[in-house]
Amino acid sequence: MKIFLITHNLIPQPTAFGSAIHVWSILSTMVKRGHQVRLIVYDAGANWQERTAPEVIHQITKLGVELTVLTKKKAAFRNNSLVQSISAVFKRLMSPGAIDYYAGPLFIEDLRALVHQHQPDVLFAYTFDAASLITGIDGVVRVASVVDLDHIARRERQFKKAGFHPINTLKHWIDLILLARMPGVMVSILRQCDLVFEHASHHKQWLKAQGLQKIDYHPVLVLDYASNVKKNFETRIDSQRPIKISLVGKVNGVATLTGLRLLATELLPILRQDPACSDCEIHVIGGGQLPGDLAQQLNDDQIIIRGFVEDIQAEFLNSDIILVPTPIDLGFRTRIAEAFSYGCCVVAHSANAEGMPELRHGDNGLLGDTGASLAAQLLRAVKSADLRRQLGEAARKTFERELSGDVNSDLMLEKIEGLVRQMHDKNAFKVLTGENHQ
């Protein structure tokens, strides 16, 4: 079948960050199952080619995937700007639509033209933004793949204390009202899809409670690149070097940033008091720029700010512990699924288990629900190589049974293929009954 895989300013790649890894996994599975795929990236910056490494594009085209990039368009109203017309503001606040939150609707005519030209069977949209684009197209199977609930993500990102100013205050209240109305718009978008995949378990339950029925949970897709790599625990245990504790993720992303702040303010004061941590190094691995105050708090001889690394596989394999202190229950932690695939010992804030029921305290990881309890669990792992080995081996088994992107992406594609067959059967029936009436 023909599939349009649609993303909002996201070029998928096998090793980068959660969203890029997830989309790459579904893209490669579509190709593996023999489908003809066109990747449509919309709302890209005019300089997207300069910001995208040539090897990333080469990886996509090497799969046989066609690539269409639609560059940015300016909306009449943007969610982060104060519009001039009072009447337009009032209307927007009383009855906002997808265009008030997302770029997708701006590209509906572009997508209609592509659909008319190529006649796809499926429109597969990653994120609510992309889902807001495909709902305007009829006659095809429409599938949405979402992780974060956008109203929660925006609340975490958007509302930071600013100095008083009448314009800022007015804008703040407009944003608050729009944020309060956002869940209704999100649910309305997904109701127009034939199938929704929600990749965070607790968010799926919330969406079901809003009345969505055609919705399934599958964990964020992480392909098994570690299947031929065995984590050598004995070598790590016998090593004379310091115990390596790694935090992985873009440091200016909400999930990583909130975790780093918890590390700086609550975990580090406890860890510094325990002699067992004198032989530890904490590696902060990931692109982005740390805020100045946080960089100062993390200025410590035992903390190594690594920045972006080319070979993330080596970091997972060479880490004794993967620490995920993210204290907010937003989305799904792809970095934990990756760590599980490499058989790593994971210590995480319990908030991460809300979206990832495969993460279980004492079975395949150690969890704490406060800074103090998280520090206590980390110290348990630091002091026991046997515990680290046990948890790492259990994590790998959990990945193979429950988290493997190879397995879950196949399950997702099977459901989509079933919907396409149903649509074709309905269309054939309509043709047949039409001929019978003649």
The domain 2-222+407-437 having CATH identifier 3.40.50.2000: the answer here is yes
d(CA 89, CA 271): 51
The per-residue pLDDT for range 129-138, each reduced to its tens digit, is: 999 999 989 9
Cα end-to-end span (Å), the chain = 31
Architecture of domain 233-403: 3-Layer(aba) Sandwich (3.40)
| Sheet with 215-217: strands ordered across | 66-71, 36-44, 2-8, 122-126, 141-146, 195-198, 215-217
> 279: which DSSP letter?
G
- What does the domain layout of the chain look like in residue ranges? 2-222+407-437, 233-403
> Which among 140, 144, 131, 124 has a CA at the least distance from the CA of 105?
131
Pull the structure tokens for residue 127: 């994120």
Exposure string over 144-183, b if 16+ CB within 10 A, otherwise e: bbbbbbbbbbbbbeeeeeeeeeeeeeeeeebbeebbebbb
Q: Would you write out the chain's pLDDT as a tens digit for each of its 438 residues?
A: 999 999 999 988 887 678 888 999 999 999 999 999 999 999 987 777 766 778 888 889 999 999 999 998 876 544 444 445 566 666 777 788 999 999 999 999 999 999 999 999 999 999 999 999 999 899 999 999 999 999 988 887 765 444 444 556 777 777 888 889 999 999 999 999 999 999 999 999 999 999 999 999 999 999 888 776 655 554 455 556 789 999 999 998 889 999 999 999 999 999 999 999 988 999 999 988 999 999 999 998 899 999 999 888 899 999 999 999 999 999 999 999 999 999 999 999 999 999 999 999 999 999 999 999 999 999 999 999 999 999 999 999 999 999 999 999 999 999 999 999 998 877 765 556 665 444
List strand residue ranges (DSSP E) for 54-187, in order.
66-71, 122-126, 141-146
Kindly report the pTM of this predicted structure.
0.87
Q: Give pLDDT, residue 427.
A: 72
CA dihedral 38, 40, 45, 49 (to 10 degrees): -10
